[in-house]
Amino acid sequence: MASHALLNIAVRAARRAGEVIVRSMNNLESLTVTAKARNDFVSEVDRAAEAQIVEIIRRHYPHHAILAEEGGAQGEHEVRWIIDPLDGTTNFLHGFPVFAVSIACEQSGRLEHAVVYDPMRQELFTASRGGGAHLDNRRIRVSKQRTLEGALLGTGFPFRANDRYLDTYFAMLKAATQIAAGIRRPGAAALDLAYVAAGRIDGFWEFGLAPWDTAAGTLLVQEAGGHIGTPSGEPYQQGGHVVAGNPRVYAALLELFAPYIPEEMRAR
Ligand code: IPD
Ligand code: CA
Ligand code: CA
């Protein structure tokens, strides 16, 4: 529930960004799209959505620091907002309706508030430290699934710089495929983590994520009673390789993946 002023602002900003995104679904063909790198696209919609979010935050909290995917790091303050204005840009650009707005607010490096908003389904996932996680106004919890057998897992395939881990990843995917009930690759990491929090998937893993992909999702998972860490079971610092799930599925994934993790990945 949006009872905190900072969370209220995050919700307002996420909804506004969602409107910008949904409105532009009708003219995808005429969008200006630029490649940040090979197969890494940013559209004017990512930028417009981010501008709306930043404007709303700045209006209320002009001195807070911001880390946003498109605009980078701005300002220094103990309160910092971590923003992915459009998580799932590739989906969005193809009209594949799975994407979200992700906004987290941290204080002195500790995540305090989180919003992941899916503008297509108009689903609002929120969390505040100590206050639990919510989907709209209902409390959400991770699933009660006890084993990988029968579990529905989410994942993301490694690409760009992380394609050096493809063999490791496919070994893990093979092992998971042989035991789980199903594996999905929806294409928006923030939403994947929100789905772990809501118990829609029992676990999730992906390599090489950015802080804005995972900041809000991390608090959602934790406040919903789940675990999130690195593939070798270290605490997850925002950015890098991630495994999440309900406590049992999380532990089972770590055990399943352990034989495949290369030394250099353990260091992260
Ligand atoms: C991407 C999505 C995707 C994940 C990528 C992210 P973007 O974010 O979360 O699911 O596999 O690693 O970069 O670029 O669409 O904001
Ligand atoms: Ca993202
Ligand atoms: Ca993005």
CATH number of the domain bearing residue 162? 3.40.190.80
Q: How confident is the model at residue 3 (pLDDT cuts 50, 70, 90)?
A: low
Show the domain range for 135: 5-140
Asked whether residue 50 falls in the same domain as residue 121, the answer is yes
Burial class (CB in 10 A: 0-12, 13-18, 19+), 266: middle
85 CB less than 6 Å from ligand 1? no
46 CB less than 6 Å from ligand 1? no
Question: Whose Cα sits closest to atom 13 in ligand 1?
Answer: 209
* pLDDT for 1: 40
* pLDDT for 175: 98
* pLDDT of 2 higher than 50: no
120-179, pLDDT tens digit by residue? 999 999 999 999 999 998 999 999 999 999 999 999 999 878 888 999 999 999 999 999
How far is residue 87 from each of residues 18, 78, 196, 231, 236, measured CA to CA in Å? 11, 25, 16, 22, 20
- Mention every residue, 6+ apart, whose C-beta is less than 8 A from residue 237: none
- The answer to whether residue 147 is domain-embedded is no
| Domain endpoint, select from 140, 174, 205 | 140
Q: Is 258 helix (H, G, I), strand (E, B) or coil?
A: helix
Asked whether residue 163 falls in the same domain as residue 123, the answer is no
Number of compact structural domains in the chain: 2
228 CB less than 6 Å from ligand 1? no
- The answer to whether residue 146 is domain-embedded is no
Residue 152 parent element (H or E): strand 152-155
Q: Which among 80, 97, 75 is positioned nearest to 21, based on CA atoms?
A: 97
Asked whether residue 55 falls in the same domain as residue 97, the answer is yes
- The answer to whether residue 145 is domain-embedded is no
| Cα of 213 from ligand 2 centre, angstroms | 4
50 CB less than 6 Å from ligand 1? no
Q: What are phi and psi of 262, to 5 degrees?
A: -70, 155
Asked whether residue 107 falls in the same domain as residue 213, the answer is no
Asked whether residue 12 falls in the same domain as residue 86, the answer is yes
Asked whether residue 187 falls in the same domain as residue 63, the answer is no
- The answer to whether residue 173 is domain-embedded is yes
* pLDDT for 9: 98
Asked whether residue 111 falls in the same domain as residue 196, the answer is no
